[in-house]
Structure 1
Amino acid sequence: MAKNYINFLQFLLFFVFLTVLSPKVYSQCAGNEGSVTICDVENIANRSVSLFSFLGGSPVPGGTWSDDDGSRGLSTTTGILNAQAIRAGGTYQYTYTAPGAGCAANTAKVLVTIGAFEGFPAPYATKCSDENTYNLFSAFNSTVISPHTNGTWRDSSGNVIPPLLTITNMNGNFQYSYTVPPVPGCDTAPLTTSITLTVIRAPQPGTGRDLLLCGTTDLDGYTAFDVSTLLSGQDPDGRWSGRGITSPSNPVVNLKQVFATYGPGEYAYNYTVLSDNDNCPDKTTTMIITLEKRLDFTGAKIEIEKNICEDEINTATYTATITQGAEAIPDNEYNVTFNVSGPNGGTETIKAFFVNGKLSFPVNSAYFRQVGVFHVTVTGIVAVDSKGACRNIINNLTTDLEIHTLPYLDGAVLTPEPTCQNKNALVHLTNALRLGDGNYNIRYNITGDNSALGQTANITVAGGISTFIVPGSLNIKSGVSTITITNITNTATGCTNTATIRGDLIINPLPNAATVNVVVNDYCLNDPVTVTVSGLGTLTDVTVSYMLQDSNLSTLESVALSVTNGKADFVIPASLLLNTGSTIISVLNLKNNITNCDVNLNNVLDSFIIHPIPVKPTVSPLSFCKVDEVAVENLTPKGNQYKWYDSATATTPLAGTTVLQSGNYYVRETSVAGCTSEPAEVPVTINDSPVPVLNSDGQNFCGLTNPTIGDLSNNTNIPATVVWYDAPDNGNLLSASTRLTEQGRYYGFNFPNSACFSSEYIEVTVALTDCDNVPNDFFIPDGFSPNGDGINDSFVIKDIEFLYPNYTLEIFNRYGNGMYKGDKNKPAWDGMNYEKSGIAGGVAPNGVYFYVLHFNKDNKPPKQGRLYLNR
């Protein structure tokens, strides 16, 4: 109280000084500067201090104030200061600005000194440790005034500490002091106060974690689940509660049974630790076990509300509906994820409600901006409130949305096939490349020589091609009709479009039947029967339909014919003419193949006869010898009615001079009507004896043995039946005793008894030089008498040509002049000089001559000798 009085006297003396002793300030609009010291800031009167009252001079009221140091608590409009709002002791400056102008100075300052304040503590504070933190300032009685905040907290050991304590792990009584610095003019020393904090340990129920399980698939391992495994850091001996807990002290629960009994849901399991102190309440940790049910959408269907045509794209809206399958789906809100294919497709998740087994949701039309088939596939359906424990079963939950193209006939070509009067017309639609394969209804008009409007037809298009029929009842007049398609509708989609394609239909007239005639000649059975149809006018290509009656019957037959000069021929198939006798042909229809127009004919017919053919001749096999060179004229049966052929199908008979060969020949008999029988096969055998075969070296003999034809026969494979001739043709038959000659040629034929003379032969050239040993009587003469008496007229070495076939013989006179040189081709010296010996006239005189014989065989040396010539 004394401190307040002193402050008041100081203020009063300062005020008198300002008003009396300082006339200079008197004239200032803001007044004179002032000051005030407030040491007892805790006094309630200091909540409202008028700073204007501390200005000296004559300040003009109505100005504004500013808190130059940001001390807080000043109203800048009224100048009232709440000193208790200042948070620390010290001196603070405030400025007053007077209103108006024309003053020497329009601002003045007031200095305010605030004394230190350490607060009014509650000496004791009790807290539970589960409050985690404690602010030491909360131990003060803040209903009066809070302590200044510029002080320092210390623990019982004198350590400076922050005012916010962590008390989580504290337990017991703790001492703390708070000191604020002194403020000059008010305090001479720091101000200190103390508090005692009692911390009581709170019960620890531990930290729990939640558990998320799919009740449909995950609970086989949770039939005895210990819920305490979800808890950590808890005090022991707590109490358990929750669905399926059988005892407060037993945390084991059968989650599979809980799910089976109570179904899916969130199940709270509580662990409570009781407190021993009223300051700390009982503590409970709750663990949530969520058991969700897997949803099975097997068999579920999705449908889009409608398919549309191309011209509805800009206005169409779409709604998809999912209908549950065999498993009932609970009514709930679900997140449905689906995918849309296509160039504008994408994936989207929407929220929608299943109600009574159905869920409908809109599908954005932006996905469907062009013609095509779009696949809408649901990939996920999960309840909005689900935590995703189960993977729901979704199989093939898809549907197609089709935007059908309009049926366009742009660029299509309409080509009617020419038809005949009163006949249906086939119209071809081609190049309809903008029409998909399928079925369509068309509307068309007929104009031109025939007229009909609003006609309809159904067509099937494949690959841009189709056809339809214009009924014959619309083609009454010949000429040209124009077919115009005006509208086309796809019967499957109902999409329709206009069209303007057209094509000209040519309607041809019917053929003229009045001049048609038919002629058939008589024929033999199995011969081609030619029919001549005439009176066809200018037609060039026709089809004639006919029937056969009488001895031969047929159904309606047709044949295409080329017409020349109004006439055409055709052959009746042989299968229709199996019987002999009279047959009638009736031509019933004539068609112009160029226009396909036909007309029925009346009484166009002819009668003809099918003659029988003779019976096949009776024949027997025939045999001949080849060497006889028999001809066709030797075959039997004989006669002008028989013709012979070299095959069963040959049509040209063989000439009678045709030489026969082994094989089959065929004979036919021809009747008076010119009909030929079936061929009779005659096996003809041309026999021949095998040609003789000469034994190896069978042609070689030794002339010294005088071999004969019999010896030559013995050197063949058939010595008993071989016969020899001196020429192959028209030669002389040689007897067995005929002597063989050197280099003689002989021709051997085979002629067995009661068999054919062989047509072939062997030719043998005999050699008589096959002599191995020189006989003891081999003799070289020592003289001769060439006098022409026929006895010993030449010098010859007998049989030397057989023994030494390559010998040479030289004869010399006594002067050594050569007189003669011979060999087997010139074996005899007749006494004439054939060498250039100088002998006149060439006649060798009587006398002694010398010879040299060269054997030229087996390396035998030449032999020399002499001979005497005596004429």
Structure 2
Amino acid sequence: MASKILFPPKLSFLHFVIIVISFFFATNINAQCAGNDNAITICGTDLIKSSSQAVNLFSLLGGGAVSGGTWTDNRLSGGLNLTTGFLNAQAIRKSGVFTYTYMSNVGCGDNSSTITVIVGGYSGVSSPDVSACGDDMAFNLFLGFNGQFLGPQTNGFWSDDDGTGALSPGGILNANKAGMGTHSFTYTMPAIDTCPAQSSTVSVTVFLPPEPGTPSLLLLCSSDNLALYNDFDLNSKLDGEDAGGIWSEAGTSEISGILDSKVNVQNLYNVFGAGVYSFTYSVFPDNPICSIKQSTVHIIIEEQLDFTGATLVVNSDICENEIPSANYNAVLTKGIKNVPNGNYYVEYSILSPLGTTTNTIIATFNNGVLTFPLSSVNFKQVADYTVSITDIRSVTSLGACINVIDVSDILHVFPLPKINTATLTIDPVCKNSDAVVALSGNTNLSDGNYSIEYNLFGSNTLISRQEIFTVSGGLTSFSIPASLIPIAGNTTISITKITNLTTGCTNTSTLTKGFVIKALPDVTNFKVDIKDVCKNQPVTVLLTGLGTLTNVTLNYDLTGVNTAINQTVTILVSSGKADFIIPSALLINTGATSLAITYIIDNGTSCGIIITNGTKSFTINTIPNVPIVNDEKFCKNENKTIGDLSPIGTQYQWFDSLTSTTVLSKTSFLVSGNYYVKEVNATTGCESGRAVVNIVINEIEVPILNQDGQNFCGLDHPTLQNLTANTTANETMSWFDAAINGNQLALTTLLKEGITYYGFDYSSSTNCYSNALEVTISLSNCNTTPDFFIPDGFSPNGDTVNDTFKIPNIEFIFPNYSLEIYNRYGNLMFSGNKNKPEWDGKNSDYKIGIDGFAPNGVYFYIINYNKENKSPSQGRLYLNR
């Protein structure tokens, strides 16, 4: 055995500690009958050797150890034979540090020693071919080690080399999650002491399992259209199955072979009737690892129960006083279809004003009749109880069918009519009117017909009068005919008996109530007056002759161009007079209308009387139409007035607000804002509504000339575009040759000395011009004084080339210059300035020469600049014709 005994050339730290401990405790080695402490390291590469199966720990104690002692496995490693002292390191299934103590049975100074065994990590030997089926959710990777070799230790850790995410602690692989294919997983034993880490890789090939699919149930009712399933493909009830499987069944002969997957459900029912039919789909694996898988599809056909024409009778109706002794049962009799004998779930409900209770019982159909009891506890109060069978099905049914059933019966527990604590209401009644007796409040009267007997006493008397009335929603009323109460005053009704005509229940009564019979109003002198009005003006009705009345309600009709029937108005009366306004909605047409007051009610007594003298006609005059107007936009410098607005005419009046009463003069200048116009009919005085006109006065600000913006240098040949650049305008500048009715000038027009130009700011959005900016141009604003080019001759021969003598551009730099030309005799030939700048070779100023033409020859000039004290210039020129 290649074990590593203490004191090698390079000691580990653990060995060093052991040596130190041994040094301090072994003060007298000869006295240690248990030997000396020692240590041994067995790494994974040594662990697989056969020598590691029998490590003699006693021999490691040294020669001083006395045999016959006792061994103790301190960490319960399980590898030590406590009798022989031999250690099987392979039996220790974890790496780590393990200690074993030897206790000598001989008395001595130190009778125990400890052997420390360091077991290095061993990761085992993986098998070359490891397979798992894809439906294995917990494949143990330790099965991937070669069983012919020592198995790996258990305290290592697994790593998912391929990142499948399917590995759980303890080496459990979810093959389904890992997916098909080969995946690698590494088992690592960590390093310990001088033993290095050791790893083994297990490659697992996951094979695709056969998939029989997830089956679903085909649940049908005999009432379904089974013909739709005459060629029913069983594969349609599988989800996710592999193709190529084989269907099988027993007993129906619907599957004809290994390639058949279709059944005739209609035939199943026709041949075998309702029942459960099972078909199994088997899928074989394409590998030797996975097993055959099966799914079973069930077809269940249930028979529909049809209770058409069936009857339910619940026995029986009772009165309130019969409740304590009543018993109840329900009898269901089949309809036109047979119902098989047997046990059935019967679900029924009992509906009453107290709520709904639902019960399910098992009852037996026998020869088409099913009887079941109803507990009297369900019928302890006065009410109508609707007993309905909501479902009935065989106790073996899965609920495939909606059975045809709609049967119910009503059990009545009738109350005795009780009205002694009820409220009788009888409003005061006018003479010649029926008195209405209203019964309400604390009663138990159900809807239906009743008979009542009563007596009258007081100002009117009557014995044993009977009336029949109907109760609805707990309320009822009946009338005492006017003929039975002809006398005004106080009368009392006394009810003696009441009978429910539907249930036949009768009860006595002591209920009484007094009421008043009132007189009618006196309108003998009644009169009506109405004035003519304009349309949409209020029509006031004046009433007189109302006597002592203080508050009345009138009924009236309108006829003529406006019609309204049975209109009502309530008004106050003072000293026999009153008035009211007919609603404008009733007076939509112009022309003659007649008002007829037909009925007056005294609101103090609520008594009314028919009116025969309440008619009056009046006229509603047409109002002019609201004028048709359009919003207007003007330019401020147009100075528009009210007279410029449309429409015009003496019948139109203009205002500056919707409510103003001051008519605007036609010379009033317009400002931006709203103006209102109406039309007035001079004959009727009727006025139209006011139309609003929105006036916008667009004002364009006068352009501003920059300081000295009129000054230019003529040498620059400035144009109107340059002048525009010297102005400030909001929009577009335009230039004209006159302030009014001028001609627009192009911006490329050259500016002229002393000419006045008129600039306007123009808005393309409003088409308005501003007032004029007047600019008079000066072209002498030149800041330089260059040397002039002064020609030294000219040829006035009429060929248009050099026909005159002129000093170019001098007028721009020296606008006040003067030019004098002399002949050689000192005679002045020409005198010029900026207004007369050119000499044409004639004696334009002095008649010297032949025919007024200066002869060829030399002439002399003098230029007086007249600016900045510049000295005059002199020179000569040559004239050659």
Q: What TM-score bracket applies, with the shorter chain setting the length? A: 0.3 to 0.5
**How high is the TM-score relative to the length of structure 1?**
0.39
**How high is the TM-score relative to the length of structure 2?**
0.39
Tell me which structure has the larger Cα radius of gyration: 1
